[in-house]
Amino acid sequence: MEAGELAMYMFSTCLVATLLQHSASPVRHAIVGDLPRRALMGLAIGATVVAMILSPWGQQSGGHFNPAVTFTFYRLGKLEPLDALFYASAQFVGAIAGVAIAKYMLQGAPGNDAVRYAVTMPGIYGRVVAFVAEMTISFTLMITILFVSNREILARYTEGER
């Protein structure tokens, strides 16, 4: 499930990035300006994540399709070492498979210089600011997950059917 979730996520990310950024895409020409395209990218990826978490696979696996989530739960003692290793391995295999499938199905378009396989590149403020931003985003993600999953009134929304 972890590999499948990451494959779907990466395929979706490459697809949306290609639609929004590739110079041959009619969507890119219909939506003028970087800010609206970035907003749509964020909304599309956010919707993908929510759909995956709420899917039967996400409910059963806990939606650990981010290695940061897996290793945080391992560090907190909520995952056994072997489980964490298998989750993370599946996540990496799934991510590679999702990008490979997108590259094949979109005939190499995600590798275009304008798309770059949907890689987030440091902006005008450089790598240090990008690193701090990524750390802040990851910290916020984990604090949110831990807050919701450890509050009885909210936790019922995070648990899959058993």
The structure's pTM equals 0.84
Contact (Cβ atoms closer than 8 angstroms) between residue 41 and residue 22? no
pLDDT band at 158, cuts 50/70/90? low
Burial state string for 23-40 with b = 16 or more CB within 10 A and e = fewer than 16 = eebeebeebeeeeebeee
Alpha carbons 79 and 72: distance in angstroms, whole number: 9
Contact (Cβ atoms closer than 8 angstroms) between residue 5 and residue 49? no
Mean pLDDT of 52-80: 83
Contact (Cβ atoms closer than 8 angstroms) between residue 14 and residue 97? no
Q: Domains of the chain by range and CATH?
A: 2-119 (1.20.1080.10), 121-162 (no CATH)
